[in-house]
Amino acid sequence: MTAGAVSRRGLLLRPARTFAQVDDDVRIVAGALLLERVAIASYDVAVAAARAVPAGAAERGRPRLPELLARVRDHEREHAEVLASKLEQLGGRAPPAPRGEAELARRRAQLGLRAPLGGLRTTAAIAAFALELEDAQLTTFLGAVRDLQNAALIELATQIMGAEGQHAVALRSLLSDAPGTLVPDAFERGEAALP
C-alpha cells in the first residue's frame, strides 16, 4: 500500500479516536460543571457568612464583601448554565448540584478543597475560603484548555478561566493591598499562595 492510500482499518480507527475525544471532552466539561456547582453552593455559604461580618475600617472604600461574593456567585451560575448546555449538546449528563451542607462538605473534600464551611467569621477567612475555590477553578480550566479537543469548548474554557482570574484578584485585594499579592505571578497556574 502506498503512503497516500487509506486502508479500511484506518478509516474504522479514525471514528473511534474521534469518539474517544468527544468522551474526553464530556468528562472534562462534566468535571468543570461539578466544580462550578460546588462553587455556587460554597458561595451561598460565603455570602451568608459575609452578611454577618460587620464592615470595619479596613473595608471602607472597597466593594462590600457580601456584594462582591454575590456577584462572583452569579458569574459561577452563568458559567454553570453554559457548561450544562454544552454538556447536553455533547450527549453527557450533568452532575447534580450538592444538596445540603453535608453533601457540599463531602463534594468539596472530593475536589481537594480544604477550607472548612464553618469558621467563616472574618473578612480574611471568607476571602481565603473563596480564593481557594477560585484557585481550584483556575487549575481546572487551565487543564481544560490543555486537554479539550473541541475548539469552541477551548474558547469557552479560556473565557471562564479569565473570569476566575478576575475573581481571584478581587478576592486577593480583600486580603492585602500589596501589588505582589494582588497579581503574584506573570503566569497563572491556580497555585498562588495566600497573602
The letter for the amino acid at 145 is V
pLDDT of residue 11: 40
pLDDT of residue 14: 43
Contacts of 119 (CB under 8 A, 6+ apart): 125
Cell of 40: 455556587
Alpha-carbon distances of 43 from 16, 36, 179, rounded to whole Å: 40, 10, 26
Task: Please tell me the number of Cα atoms within 13 Å of 150 on its side-chain side.
Answer: 20
Set out the domains of the chain in order of their start, with CATH numbers: 19-182 (1.20.1260.10)
CB 80 within 8 A of CB 175: no
pLDDT of residue 19: 52
Give per-10-residue mean pLDDT for the chain (195 aa): 46 46 90 98 96 68 80 98 97 96 97 93 91 95 95 97 93 76 66 53
pLDDT of residue 103: 98
Burial state string for 140-154 with b = 16 or more CB within 10 A and e = fewer than 16 = bbbbbbeebebeebb
pLDDT of residue 56: 65
Alpha-carbon distances of 190 from 14, 66, 69, 131, 168, rounded to whole Å: 35, 24, 19, 10, 9
The letter for the amino acid at 78 is E
Task: Give dist(CA 95, CA 135) in Å, integer.
Answer: 21
